[in-house]
Structure 1
Amino acid sequence: MLRWILGGRENQSSVEKSPVLCIGEDQPKNWFTELQVLKGHFDIVRFLVQIDDFRCASAGDDGLILVWNIETGERLQELRGHSQQITAITTFTCNNGVTLLITASSDRSLSLWDPDTGNRVQTISDLQSSVKCLLVLERLCVWVSGGEELCVWSKDFQLQCHRQNHSDTGITALTELPKNCIAAAMDKEIVICRVTVSPDSSVSLDEIHCLSNHQDQIRALISVNDELFASGSHAGELILWDATEWTMLAYQHILWEEPQASSQHLTTNGKLILAAVGSGLYVYSVLTKAVVAYRKFLSLTYGSVRMWEIQDLPLPAEPASPGFFAIWNFGRLNKHSGPSKKAVDIPNVRTLALTGDLIGHSGAVQMFLSFKENGLVTCSTDHLLILWKNGERQSHLRSLALFQKLEENGGL
């Protein structure tokens, strides 16, 4: 059974105006029954990145990068050096297998950190503008930064090449594609560039294609698998692309009843894409090129993290309000033609049932990071991280540790 976890990112006013969906205290499918609050930040925490199986780093508006042990909740390192908020963070694996951190800040600097020691290994300052996104190309031993410029850097933090973009918004998202290519989102367009490393180790960056099928600013760009990538816009457009031919495979536009559309977030497991748009949550199948499950009215407890499970719709199907799904287009894009089609007319569409409610944050959840059986980490506007654990598993581990200690001490 496929399950999704989603954090509440709605603003306070929108939550107060709508009734809260509640499932009560009895949540048999919610295994996160134990939590630990991690303190250390003094402003909004926006980013979480996994370092290894037992460590993660957090960063946000206070300019701090904190390294945590997710088994114990211990703060291992405090990385100081940026004078303004962190705008992007990613991991970077060296040739010797050591994992480092790259951070970008509004202070127009880039830094390379060693999370083991807390030392800043490299720094680049006085950039022309702040960096909005980072992408590491492991197989080419380079990394890419996006903002007003698209820059390619070597592992020793040397600028190899760059391209100036002509968009007022700059580059807002990056994703890696096959054939040493990258996709960069700039306003309503996706620019495909190829990174070439010559035998003499020189690096070039060439723009080879431009995709202009979106009608609104692109907010999300993800690699689905080796053959596909997807993009989502502010207006709720979802486009599925061929990752090697750069052709559009499917287009879907969801029109909303709300006066203003909200930004779109995408995540994927390689076969399904979860799209959070406006007040809706949609699961899109890359195989059938159709929405297979949805939850139209997503009203979140402020600061909650919620677990959802795909379930069949009850029979007869519940009626949908007019304008729920207004346009369904697949294959080639036809922006101005075709009759509207409601979600209830689409066969085999299921719903998302709320199976768990993780209430702990007092502010909107910004991001979550799953460590599978070792737990879940969330960060929020309340300046806190929360480490969610399987209470039954943790109790079992504590019992084993106690018995081991008693055995070592020769019993009671």
Structure 2
Amino acid sequence: MLRWILGAREAPSSAERSPVLLIGEEQPKNRFTELQVLKGHFDIVRFLVQIDDFRCASAGDDALVLIWSVETGERLQELRGHTQQITAITTFSSTNGVAAHASLITASSDRSLSLWDPDTGNRVQTISDLQSSVKCLLVLERQCVWISGGEELCVWSKDFQLQSQRQTHSDNGITALIELPKNCIAAAMDKDIMIYRLTVSTDSSVSVAEIRCLSNHQDQIRSLITVNDGLFASGSHAGELVVWDAVEWNMVARERILWEEPQAGTEIRLGAAQPSEVSIQHLSTNGKLIVAAVGGGLYVYNVLTRSVLAYRKQAHDSNVLHTSLLSDSDVMSCSEDGSVRMWEIQEQPLMAEATSAGLFGGMWSFGRSNKSSVHVSKKTPPDSAPVRTLELTGDLIGHSGAVQMFISFNESALVTCSTDHLLILWKDGQRESQRRSLALLHKLEEKGGL
């Protein structure tokens, strides 16, 4: 049974939660019914990365990077070296001629970058005394380089040699980086997306040049993701979801997510502050669908039909911080309210929250893009809107603080991290029970019975 077993927090009463979202302890579609608490951090854990099929790394405000076995929950390595909080972490694969080897790159508020060997726990390389803290990291496997973003955009070789450096013209610096086709990258800076092109010279040196600035957002960009080989997407604090052509860098489609319909006669000012409940905190995709974390709600967009597939205005009691598409019909989300929830996109029409004319209204086309090539959602009556329902199928309750993110190891395991300093390893309870029974049976057979 899933209960509020950690911390001093009590489970929300029915008066605090929407009755639509209440789900009992019997959750037949929720396979993650067994949990194991992983202790080792002593401050907020913000990041999780998958190293391989059996290991993950966690990092956060305590300056530690911990390596964990997903099979046993054992802490394998403790990477010490940074003196302040970790601000970014990613994996870096290298080949020694025989097999690929995964390394970790970390950035910290102490203005340093480090390369780690997760097998030994050794710090292989380090770069100190940077001019500013790094906020994001991007590895370009084909070019054998990696990029750090912050107040500066820096290109590094695999042996940590600086190849190119550009100063950004933004108060907040670069907050997100993604790879694009044709040796290009996209960087989110405040309201803009800057397109850079990398050029490799005959002497193997790398240079970077600004190609274009996409200034179509009206508020700060909060998330930037690659959708597929031809598309990428961005989401802003004002609820703007924009889909872009990854080669031509034109705006392909645009959604303005408004949970409430504006009052009649009310002037909508583009420069006005937007309510926090429409802020897009996170985007995830499987190449066909995009899930946006919008305030405390979820919003599923179909990039193939350029239409809204499903939405749930109140998916959690607080802001949703991370989402993932487990399949074309299964969605997972975690929130500041300490919960991790599983959802199923079902075929029947959404009855609980009928689509109003203003729900997805208030959408405009901006910038230099050709209006005929940009899809902007139009107001549609509820009976013709292709909106399905997002039904709650599982509620994983264990953390006593905001769940920052999670990573899924397919059907075998799920790992979550939180402000409560803990990680939780969730597993299929039925499968684990069967494995233990088989192990016990084998042991009895080896000993000739009881």
Q: Which residue of 1 aligns with 2:295?
A: 278
Are 2:329 and 1:312 equivalent residues in the alignment? Answer: no
Quick one: structure 1 residues 208 and 41, their matched pair in 2 at CA, closer, same or farther if it must change by over 3 Å?
same
Are 2:167 and 1:150 equivalent residues in the alignment? Answer: no
Q: Distance in 1 between matches of 2:447 and 2:228?
A: 52
Q: Which residue of 2 aligns with 1:292?
A: 309
Q: Which residue of 1 aligns with 2:6?
A: none
- 2:228 is paired with a residue whose SS is coil
Counterpart residue identity of residue 229, structure 2: D
Kept after mapping to 2: 8 A contact 1:328/1:341: no
Q: Which residue of 1 aligns with 2:171?
A: 168
Are 2:445 and 1:407 equivalent residues in the alignment? Answer: yes
Alignment equivalent of 2:183, drawn from 174, 180, 183? 180
Q: Distance in 1 between matches of 2:141 and 2:194?
A: 21
- 1:397 is paired with a residue whose SS is helix
Within-5 A mapping of 1:86-235? 86-96=86-96, 97-235=100-238
Q: Report deviation, 1:329.
A: 5.6
Deviations along 1:104-133, one digit per CA (max 9) or x if unpaired, are 000100000000000000000100000000
Q: Which residue of 1 aligns with 2:17?
A: 19
- 1:398 is paired with a residue whose SS is helix
Alignment equivalent of 1:325, drawn from 342, 360, 366? 360
Q: Distance in 2 between matches of 1:156 and 1:389?
A: 38
Counterpart residue identity of residue 133, structure 2: S
Counterpart residue identity of residue 287, structure 1: L
- 1:140 is paired with a residue whose SS is coil
- 2:142 is paired with a residue whose SS is helix
Q: Distance in 1 between matches of 2:104 and 2:83?
A: 17
Q: Report deviation, 1:196.
A: 1.5
Kept after mapping to 1: 8 A contact 2:308/2:386: no
Q: Distance in 1 between matches of 2:352 and 2:78?
A: 53
Q: Distance in 1 between matches of 2:192 and 2:237?
A: 13
Within-5 A mapping of 1:329-348? 341=379, 344=382, 346-348=384-386
Q: Report deviation, 1:406.
A: 3.0
Q: Distance in 1 between matches of 2:80 and 2:357?
A: 52
Kept after mapping to 2: 8 A contact 1:56/1:70: yes
Q: Which residue of 2 aligns with 1:6?
A: none
Quick one: structure 1 residues 381 and 339, their matched pair in 2 at CA, closer, same or farther if it must change by over 3 Å?
closer
Q: Distance in 1 between matches of 2:172 and 2:83?
A: 23
Deviations along 1:56-106, one digit per CA (max 9) or x if unpaired, are 000001110000001100000010111111000000011221100000000
- 2:171 is paired with a residue whose SS is coil
Are 2:411 and 1:373 equivalent residues in the alignment? Answer: yes
Kept after mapping to 2: 8 A contact 1:256/1:278: no
Q: Report deviation, 1:321.
A: 6.2
- 1:224 is paired with a residue whose SS is strand
Q: Report deviation, 1:184.
A: 0.4
Quick one: structure 1 residues 311 and 161, their matched pair in 2 at CA, closer, same or farther if it must change by over 3 Å?
same
Kept after mapping to 1: 8 A contact 2:356/2:381: no
Kept after mapping to 2: 8 A contact 1:325/1:341: yes
Deviations along 1:131-171, one digit per CA (max 9) or x if unpaired, are 00000000000000000000000000010001101100100
Are 2:402 and 1:364 equivalent residues in the alignment? Answer: yes
Q: Distance in 2 between matches of 1:45 and 1:282?
A: 26
Counterpart residue identity of residue 80, structure 1: R
What TM-score does the superposition give when structure 1 sets the normalisation length?
Answer: 0.90
Within-5 A mapping of 1:50-69? 50-69=50-69
Q: Which residue of 1 aligns with 2:43?
A: 43
Kept after mapping to 2: 8 A contact 1:88/1:103: yes
- 2:77 is paired with a residue whose SS is strand
Counterpart residue identity of residue 93, structure 1: S
Kept after mapping to 2: 8 A contact 1:144/1:151: yes
What root-mean-square deviation, in Å, do the aligned CA atoms of Structure 1 and Structure 2 show? 2.3
Structure 1: unaligned runs, 5 residues or longer? 1-11
Q: Distance in 1 between matches of 2:250 and 2:355?
A: 33
Give % identity. 74
Q: Distance in 2 between matches of 1:353 and 1:359?
A: 17
Kept after mapping to 1: 8 A contact 2:61/2:84: yes
Q: Report deviation, 1:263.
A: 4.0
Quick one: structure 1 residues 63 and 333, their matched pair in 2 at CA, closer, same or farther if it must change by over 3 Å?
farther
Quick one: structure 1 residues 201 and 22, their matched pair in 2 at CA, closer, same or farther if it must change by over 3 Å?
same
Deviations along 1:5-37, one digit per CA (max 9) or x if unpaired, are xxxxxxx9xx99953531111211111110000
Kept after mapping to 2: 8 A contact 1:88/1:131: yes
Alignment equivalent of 2:240, drawn from 237, 242, 258? 237
Kept after mapping to 2: 8 A contact 1:88/1:134: yes
Q: Report deviation, 1:208.
A: 1.1
Q: Distance in 2 between matches of 1:197 and 1:234?
A: 36
Quick one: structure 1 residues 343 and 214, their matched pair in 2 at CA, closer, same or farther if it must change by over 3 Å?
farther
Q: Report deviation, 1:402.
A: 2.1
Kept after mapping to 2: 8 A contact 1:36/1:73: yes
Q: Which residue of 2 aligns with 1:3?
A: none
- 1:404 is paired with a residue whose SS is helix
Deviations along 1:374-397, one digit per CA (max 9) or x if unpaired, are 210000010000000001111111
Q: Distance in 2 between matches of 1:55 and 1:281?
A: 29
Structure 2: unaligned runs, 5 residues or longer? 1-8, 261-273, 319-336
Structure with the larger RCO, 1 or 2 (CA within 8 Å, 6+ apart): 1
